[in-house]
Amino acid sequence: MIHEIYNKMGIDNKVIDFCNDIEKNLKERFNDIDTIAEYNQLKVIKAMQDNKVSDACFAATTGYGYNDMGRDTLEDVYASIFHCEAALVRPQLTCGTHALTIALSGNLRPGDELLSPVGKPYDTLESVIGIRPANGSLAEYGVSYRQVDLLSDGSFDYEGIKRAINEKTKLVTIQRSKGYATRPTLSVEKIGELIAFIKNIKPDVICMVDNCYGEFVETIEPSDVGADMCVGSLIKNPGGGLAPIGGYIVGTKQCVENAACRLTCPGLAKEVGATLGINQSLYQGLFLSPVVVAGALKGAIFAANIYEKLGYKVVPDSTEPRYDIIQSVVLRSPEAIIEFCKGIQKAAPVDSFVTPEPWAMPGYDSDVIMAAGAFVQGSSIELSADAPIKEPYAVYFQGGLTWYHSKLGIINSLQHLVNAGIVTF
Ligand SMILES: *Cc1c(COP(=O)(O)O)cnc(C)c1O
């Protein structure tokens, strides 16, 4: 029966059988993922109970949004989950880059220095920081930037970091996920070690973690190991696929207050910001997120095992522990990454009939091809694949609101490579 419906969707028996054999060997790993999901599900429910989430929290506010109980309670729920003093969780944070920008610009002042001890940050942050000159960058406001690259084995350059910290260093930005790079993703434990090292040298420095794609992958978050702020996007993990927009900043009361003064304005801070009726989606998405993240992780591990078996370099590899939901597959040619993305697109519930094409996306320094048939535009907790059209021709694959959809997408990506003659059995 299963073969029949896969056949109807254009998948050959050879491809299904190859993939199912791989899945059979992943039972133990999938079990481990389910255990983490169970823990995080309970953590989220407990936070909702402790903060007395009620039906009244789902009511819409408009205009100034004064006394938006749903918004304020949701921020308390986020603060509880991340074990932080405060949170800013807003639809007015338009995306992850914006949330990071608000966290940075709210907490940095002219003359301060920003340090990244984990190499070059995510592409879109280059314009924000001013690594790539841009209108309105932190550099234009007199904030300088310093970077210490990871060592060639992916570990921290502790000597270099020590040398880089100076009297101007105000904020350290640590990106948990690899993003569009082939460096390893950092475990929360590793992030904790880095923060402890930095705080030992300069105790009052603000340690911020770009937590995009990392939420609920482990049972602890960077705020459990000393981060002063964690920042992320609601159209990634913690929105559970239901949040239609938004970002979050959790952390110390002061850091969050500083960010809120930048998001709205000095004096108004967290007091304004109507939620226009989307609160229920933000709560319900957060509630589902641990299970959605588990499905996405299973998809990532499934893809790693399939493509590694076919002789491609995959990061992380088939057996490595996971610290984010991203899987990269180095497909070695533009044709292969385009076919992979077409396969993902064709497996989508939405826009399955369109063909993805590379384009010059704002904020990126090369053409990028993106496959996504999403209910929420650009949502990358939904099954999606992105690939910058540049060496080493790696595709970055993530998401899937259900494991079965992730599985179909990966199988279909392989079918496309087979159809194009790039993979032969
Ligand atoms: C996605 C992502 C961002 C930016 O988020 P957008 O919502 O795309 O603006 C920043 N950092 C990392 C590591 C990301 O994965």
> Ligand 1 in contact with 243 (CB < 6 A)?
no
Residue found under tokens 């608000």:
102
Confidence of residue 279 (pLDDT cuts 50, 70, 90): very high
Q: How far apart are CA 54 and CA 50, in angstroms?
A: 11
From the CB of 124, is ligand 1 less than 6 Å away?
yes
Residue 179 Cβ inside 6 Å of ligand 1? The answer reads: yes
Provide CATH 3.90.1150.60 ranges for the chain. 2-38+290-419
d(Cα 330, Cα 339) in Å, to the nearest integer? 13
The residue among 228, 191, 196, 234 whose CA lies nearest residue 215 is 234
Tell me the best of 236, 381, 398 to mutate to test the pocket of ligand 1, counting ligand atoms within 8 Å of each CB and taking the most: 236
Give me the mean pLDDT over the 74-79 stretch: 98
Model confidence over 44-61: pLDDT tens digits?
999 999 999 999 999 999
CATH of domain 2-38+290-419: 3.90.1150.60
At residue 309, φ and ψ (nearest 5 deg) are: -60, -30
**DSSP β-bridge partners for residue 384:** 372, 398
Question: Which residue type sits at 159?
Answer: E
Nearest 5°: phi and psi at 300?
-65, -45
Any idea which of 66-75, 352-361, 400-409, 412-421 has the lowest mean pLDDT? Answer: 352-361
Q: Which of 131-135, 182-186, 356-360 has the lowest mean pLDDT?
A: 182-186
In this predicted structure, what is the pLDDT of residue 363? 65
> What is the pLDDT averaged over residues 136-163?
97
pLDDT in tens, 5-34: 999 999 999 999 999 999 999 999 999 999
Q: Please give the Cα distance from 275 to 323 (Å, whole number).
A: 32
pLDDT mean over 400-408: 97
Closest atom of ligand 1 to CA, residue 100:
10
Ligand 1 centroid from CA 414, angstroms: 27
The pLDDT, as a whole number, for residue 403 is 98
Mean residue pLDDT of the chain comes to: 96
For CATH 3.40.640.10, the residue range(s) in the chain are: 42-286
Q: Is the CB of 127 under 6 A from ligand 1?
A: no
Residue 206 has pLDDT above 90, yes or no: yes
Q: With a 6 A CB cut-off, is 211 part of the ligand 1 pocket?
A: no
Contact 230 CB / ligand 1 (< 6 Å) = no
Q: Cβ atoms within 10 A of the Cβ of 10, count?
A: 14
pLDDT in tens, 288-332: 999 999 999 999 999 999 999 999 999 999 999 999 999 999 999
Architecture of domain 42-286 in this structure: 3-Layer(aba) Sandwich (3.40)
CA of 203 to the centre of ligand 1 (A): 28
ω into 362 cis (within 30 of 0): no
Beta bridge partners of 114: 145, 171
361-387 as b/e: b if 16+ CB within 10 A: beebeeebbbbbbbebeebbbbbbbbb
> What is the rounded CA–CA span in Å between residue 125 and residue 110?
18
What percent of the chain lies above the pLDDT cut of 90? 96
* Ligand 1 centroid distance, CA of 212 (Å): 6
Least confident of 178-192, 289-303, 315-329, 396-410: 178-192
